[in-house]
Amino acid sequence: MQKSSKEQLRSILEPRSVAVIGASSKSGKIGHEILKNIVEGGYAGPIYPVNPHEEFILALKSFKSIMDVPDDVDACIITVPPHLVAQVLDECGKKKVGGAVIISAGFSEIGNFDLERLIVEIASKNELRIVGPNCAGIINTQNKLYATMESRIGPGSIAFMTQSGALGGAALAWARQERIGISKFISYGNRCDIDEADILEYLVEDDQTKVIAAYIEGLRNGRRFLDSARDASKKKPVVAIKSGASSEGSRAALSHTGSLSGSDRVYDGAFLQTGIIRAEEIDDLFDMSKALSCQPASRGKRIAVLTNSGGPSVMMTDALVKLNLEVPEPSTQMKDALTFLPEICSRKNPIDLTAEATPEQYGKVLETIAGSNEYDIAISMFVPPAFVKSEETGRAVAEVASDMSKPIVACWMSGDLVTEAVQILEGRHVPNFPTPRRTAKAVWALVERGTYLSKSRSDLS
């Protein structure tokens, strides 16, 4: 019986064994770097280098052909020159390999459509599914599979699918620097076979993945993708960058992955209807995904800002309002509930505790916000004077956050002065963002997610 797309993607992303066809002992060669990544990454299953000219590579026995491997192989990573891919793929089919990731470039992205059609025909004949060609590989942090030329990254709950391998690699490096882990990384390049819809349908059922992030240049089957995205968004947040918004960018996308971009306004409307939250930059993509992975969706767009510094909170207010979010002043009743604050503190919104703010004040104000129906999200801002240790305030905020049913995010500025405090916050699932603009975008994503879920529920009733 023929396997479903999800089963075949599972063979590729959760393989019991892996072969690297085109593996090399020469440092700098793609086949060498991918094999090295798999070995050093700690993948526990059997690894089979395939190269007709070498006996051992990285202390592993090498095989002349995939047909010579004595055991079953779930996933093949193909790095041979493009003119050899069809032959290698045919051998993978005869070997009954579960699926193949074709790293090799030189197909539709340079106008070589006939060769790409040929490998699709071979794969179809052999009931073999392909990721790629012209891609950067895959990562599954749960089983420590780093079948990619890109840098290794730690585990997390955000899956990242990308049409561009190079941008995907840069994004992984950025996420690692920001201490953001991932569940799966799938670079799918020209997506001659497995496409965005297939990947979405797999990821929505992946227990390790809480949020799906995507970089898209264009869609081959827009209707199927949107149907898959609509189904996925009902279960998990989907955040996406859609590039090629300008006519020049659209032309660049065509030459990069052979992708037709389509009207940017059409994508805006389609994303809105299907619940996809649109990001503009890589930091937006991961900031939004980070917030959505550890905080609940918001029930509304009324934001309470708690701060110890006036200037940054003004910037925060501007950033929130620019995104059509609300920063309303507290009611008289709530101001009365804040009378425990010293007179020098502002009980408006932002609620400014001044530079003399104590951990106890932060905790008590957040408890007041948490118990109020006036606000939907709380933002904790902190810009410590150099003489103040931020860890105690971080613990106070984290303690209250653990019992909050509404979202809370942090904007703790000042770099290494707050490093340990940020680790305390994020250890208790309070995401931190270092600037008001980035914080506001993350908050906006929580509001957008809540709006979509509310609309979906009302449509069903």
**DSSP notation for 221-278:** SHHHHHHHHHHHHTTS-EEEEE---SHHHHHHHHHHHS-----HHHHHHHHHHHTEEE
The pLDDT value recorded for residue 26 is 96
Quick one: pLDDT at residue 245? Answer: 55
For residue 182, give the H/E element and its range.
Answer: strand 182-187
Here the tokens at position 424 are 């305390």
| Phi, psi for 101 (deg, rounded to 5) | -110, 115
Q: What is the pLDDT of residues 69-83, one digit of tens each?
A: 999 999 999 999 999
The tens place of each residue's pLDDT in the chain, 461 residues long, gives 456 677 889 999 999 999 999 999 999 999 999 999 999 999 999 999 999 999 999 999 999 999 999 999 999 999 999 999 999 999 999 999 999 999 999 999 999 999 999 999 999 999 999 999 999 999 999 999 999 999 899 999 999 999 998 899 999 999 999 999 999 999 999 999 999 999 999 999 999 999 999 999 888 888 899 999 999 999 999 999 997 654 444 444 434 444 444 567 788 888 999 999 999 999 999 999 999 999 999 999 999 999 999 999 999 999 999 999 999 999 999 999 999 999 999 999 999 999 999 999 999 999 999 999 999 999 999 998 877 789 999 999 999 999 999 999 999 997 888 999 999 999 999 999 999 999 999 999 999 999 999 988 877 65
Is residue 212 a contact partner of residue 236, using CB atoms and an 8 Å limit?
Answer: yes
**8 Å CB contact between 397 and 363:** yes
Residue 257 CA to residue 75 CA, distance in Å, equals 23
* Sheet of 303-307, strands arranged across: 351-352, 303-307, 377-382, 408-412
Residues of each domain in the chain carrying CATH 3.40.50.720: 1-134
CB atoms inside a 10 Å sphere around CB 59? 6
Q: Is the pTM of this model over 0.85?
A: yes
> How far apart (Å, rounded) are the C-alpha atoms in residues 98 and 13?
10
Report the amino acid identity of residue 366. L
What one-character-per-residue DSSP string does 277-305 give?
EEESSHHHHHHHHHHHHHSPPPS--BEEE
Within 323-413, residue ranges assigned H as helices are: 332-337, 359-370, 391-401
> How far is residue 238's CA from residue 288's CA, in Å, rounded to a whole number?
10
In whole angstroms, give the CA distance from residue 55 to residue 71: 18
Phi, psi for 453 (deg, rounded to 5): -65, -40
- In the chain, % of residues over pLDDT 90: 85
Q: Give the per-residue pLDDT at 263.
A: 67
Question: How many CA atoms does the CB half-sphere of 206 hold within 13 Å?
Answer: 30
CA distance 210 to 363: 29
Sequence-ordered list of residues with C-beta below 8 angstroms from that of 222, at least 6 positions apart, any chain: 262, 270
Confidence at residue 244, expressed as pLDDT on a 0 to 100 scale:
63
Helix (H) or strand (E) holding 9: helix 5-13
Q: Phi and psi dihedrals of 364, rounded to 5?
A: -70, -40
What is residue 219's three-state secondary structure? coil
Could you tell me if 284 and 276 are in contact, meaning their C-beta atoms sit under 8 angstroms apart?
no
Angle made by CA atoms 394, 173, 162, in degrees to the nearest 5: 115
Domain 137-294 has CATH 3.40.50.261: yes
CATH topology of domain 297-457: Rossmann fold (3.40.50)
Residue pair 377/443 in contact (Cβ under 8 Å)? The answer is yes
- Burial (CB count within 10 angstroms: exposed 0-12, middle 13-18, buried 19+), residue 42: exposed
* Helix 359-370 × helix 391-401 angle, to 10°: 20
CA distance 408 to 47: 44
- CATH number of the 1-134 domain: 3.40.50.720
Amino acid identity, residue 360?
E
Beta carbons of 167 and 221 less than 8 angstroms apart: no
Listed in order, the ranges of the chain carrying CATH 3.40.50.261 are 137-294, 297-457
Calpha distance 298→453 (Å, rounded): 10
Cis peptide before 81 (omega within 30 of 0): no
pLDDT at 41: 97
